[in-house]
Amino acid sequence: MDRPIGVIDSGVGGMTVARELMRQLPNEELIYVGDTLRCPYGPRPKEEVIEYTWQMVHFLLKKQIKMLVIACNTATAFTLQELKATLDIPVLGVIQPGARAAIKGTDNLQIGVIGTEGTIKSKAYADALHQINPFINVSGLACPAFVPMVEQGVLDGPEAHKVVRETLEPLKQNSSIDTLILGCTHYPLLENMIQQVMGEDITVICSGDETAREVSVILEYYQLLYQSNRLPNHHFYTTGDKQLFEKIANDWFDTPILNIHSLQLEVTQQL
């Protein structure tokens, strides 16, 4: 079906999901919305996250998307069930795919989750993990410094290493995890530093990779896959600093991102 896939995130982090979608589904077109102006979502009240998420969804529905990917863990935790119940297109978040991958990866049933304050407080990952295996022990840690650092394009260097090391120290010292879920789509941009701090014996799970695999399965199931070969025309929208967004995007993607637009989201009523 020749309609785009919609991808939403609180900022630039969902690009980690978008890049994997582009790699695994090279013929599909994406429309990405990053609400960088109001990022991060993690410290915001649940009602505010729901409102902002719906604003992005309404924009994408006008673009006739055939599937919605919520590439934001906080938004997934607070809005996934409502969106699935309301929309007449498939909706996928990033939490369930990440949980399934972590259970495959763990040997000792000790799984760590790092994420925003909202994601950790919601216990969404713990709930998803325990639905599959009630004997999993989950250690969660909020990392509020990570998203602002990524949104500013600070992805390496001594100061970034210091922030990552000090933030993760409690999890490293007080748990026996063998698997760590990066429970925020911004965090894969810091993955190398996170792996260094936690140690090579820890399996790090990026939920974006798993999410892209599930998107492919869902599109095939609903017969929504684009069947021909083409060079897709992706579009990226940001509500914040376009130049910074463009810099981070072109540092992260393998090929230049040409269609980057500024966006002012409208306050709309939920469906």
| Residue of 228, 238, 250, 254 whose CA lies nearest to 33 | 238
Specify if 83 maps to a domain.
yes
* Domain identity same for 37 and 66: yes
Extract the annotated binding site: 9-10, 41-42, 73-74, 185-186
Q: Is the pLDDT of residue 261 over 80?
A: yes
Predicted confidence (pLDDT) per residue in 118-164, tens digit: 999 999 999 999 999 999 999 999 999 999 999 998 989 999 999 99
pLDDT tens for 152-209 read 989 899 999 999 999 999 998 877 999 999 999 899 999 999 999 999 999 999 987 7
33/44 Cα distance (integer angstroms): 19
Instruction: State the total domains in the chain.
Output: 2
Tell me the pTM: 0.90
**CA–CA separation, 129 and 133 (whole Å):** 6
Query: To 10 degrees, what angle do helices 191-198 and 158-173 make?
Result: 50
Give the domain extent around 231: 5-93+209-262
Q: Which residues contact 52 (CB under 8 A, 6 or more apart)?
A: 10, 35, 38, 41, 44, 75, 265
Based on the fold, state whether residues 183 and 57 are members of the same structural domain: no
Judge whether residue 271 has pLDDT over 70.
no
Residue 85 domain flag: yes
Residue with tokens 């199931």: 221
Amino acid 268: pLDDT:
62
| Residues in binding site for substrate | 9-10, 41-42, 73-74, 185-186
- Whether residue 269 lies inside any domain: the answer is no
Among residues 112, 120, 102, 118, the alpha carbon closest in space to that of 138 is found at 112
Of 109, 149, 147, 145, the C-alpha closest to 129 is 109
CB-based contact 221:47 (threshold 8 Å): no
CA distances, 227 to each of 187, 223, 224, 243 (Å) = 33, 10, 9, 34
How many percent of the chain have pLDDT more than 90? 83
Q: Which residues are catalytic?
A: 72, 184
> What is the residue-wise DSSP string for 161-193?
HHHHHHHHHHHHHS---SEEEE-STTGGGGHHH
For the domain that residue 127 is a member of, what is the CATH number? 3.40.50.1860
Query: Bridge-partner residues for 235, per DSSP?
Result: 31
Please check whether residue 11 lies inside any domain of the structure. Answer: yes
